[in-house]
Amino acid sequence: MPRRSFWAWGMEADEPTLAQLQETALQLSSRYGVDVETASPHTPTELALRAPRLSPPDDLAGICSTDDWDRAYHTYGRSYPDRVRAFRGEFPSPPDVIARPRGEEDIERLLEWCTARGYHAIPFGGGSSVVSGFEPEADAEGVVTIDMERLDRVLEVDEISRAARIQAGVYGPALDSQLRPYGLTMRHFPQSFEYSTLGGWLATRSGGHYATNHTHIDEFAESIRMISPSGAWESRRLPGSGAGPSPDRMVLGSEGTLGVITEAWMRLQGRPDYRASAGVYFESYEAAWQAVRNVVQAKLWPANLRLLDATEAHLAAGMDGRESLVVIGFESTDVPQGPNLRDAVDIARESGGRVSNDDLIISDEGSADAGRQGPVGAWRESFIRAPYAMNATVPLGLVHDTFETAITWDRWPGLDESVRAAVTEALERVCGGGTVSCRFTHVYPDGPAPYYTFIGMGRRGGEIEAWSEIKRVASDAVAEAGGTITHHHAVGKLHRPWYDNQRPDLFAEALRAAKRVLDPAGILNPGVLIDPL
For its own copies, the binding residues in 355-374 under the rule CB under 8 A are none
Q: How far is the CB of 533 from its own copies (least distance, A)?
A: 13
Q: How far is the CB of 161 from its own copies (least distance, A)?
A: 4
Mark the segment that binds its own copies (CB under 8 A) among 53-61, 212-220, 318-326, 378-386: 212-220
Q: How far is the CB of 425 from its own copies (least distance, A)?
A: 25
Q: How many CB atoms lie within 10 A of CB 409?
A: 18
Q: How far is the CB of 322 from its own copies (least distance, A)?
A: 26
State which residue, 256 or 397, has the beta carbon closest to its own copies: 256
Name the residue type at position 19: A
Q: How far is the CB of 336 from its own copies (least distance, A)?
A: 8
Subset of 262-281 contacting its own copies (CB under 8 A): 267, 270
Please work out the total of residues on this chain that contact its own copies, with binding judged by CB under 8 A: 95
CA distances from 279 to 303, 344, 375, 443, 458 (A): 14, 11, 6, 16, 35
Subset of 464-523 contacting its own copies (CB under 8 A): 482-491, 495, 499, 502-507, 509-511, 513-514, 516-518
Q: Which is nearest to 144 in space by CA: 113, 169, 116?
A: 113
State which residue, 93 or 297, has the beta carbon closest to its own copies: 297
Name the residue type at position 1: M
Q: How far apart are CA 169 and CA 167, in angstroms?
A: 6
Subset of 179-208 contacting its own copies (CB under 8 A): 204-207
CA distances from 512 to 62, 305, 505, 517 (A): 34, 37, 11, 9
State which residue, 297 or 468, has the beta carbon closest to its own copies: 297
Binding mask 439-468 for its own copies (x = CB under 8 A): ---x-xxxxxx-------------------
Q: How far apart are CA 132 and CA 109, in angstroms?
A: 26
Please, which residues have CB within 8 angstroms of residue 335's CB and are 6 or more apart in sequence?
274
Residue 77 sits in the site that holds its own copies (CB under 8 A): no
CB 382 within 8 A of CB 397: no
Helix (H, G, I), strand (E, B) or coil at 451: strand
State phi, psi for 18 to the nearest 5 degrees: -60, -45
Mark the segment that binds its own copies (CB under 8 A) among 70-78, 83-91, 251-259, 394-402: 251-259
Which stretches does DSSP call E strand in 148-287? 154-158, 163-167, 184-185, 221-228, 231-234, 260-267, 269-270, 274-282
State which residue, 149 or 273, has the beta carbon closest to its own copies: 273
Residue 351 sits in the site that holds its own copies (CB under 8 A): no
Residue 332 sits in the site that holds its own copies (CB under 8 A): yes
Helix (H, G, I), strand (E, B) or coil at 147: strand
Subset of 408-437 contacting its own copies (CB under 8 A): 408-410
DSSP characters over 326-347? EEEEEEESSS--HHHHHHHHHH
Subset of 388-407 contacting its own copies (CB under 8 A): 406-407
Residue 155 sits in the site that holds its own copies (CB under 8 A): no
Residue 164 sits in the site that holds its own copies (CB under 8 A): no
Q: How far apart are CA 306 and CA 292, in angstroms?
A: 8
Residue 100 sits in the site that holds its own copies (CB under 8 A): no
Among 88, 249, 271, 372, binds its own copies (CB under 8 A): 249
Count CA atoms closer than 13 A to 332's CA, side-chain side: 17
Q: How far is the CB of 200 from its own copies (least distance, A)?
A: 12
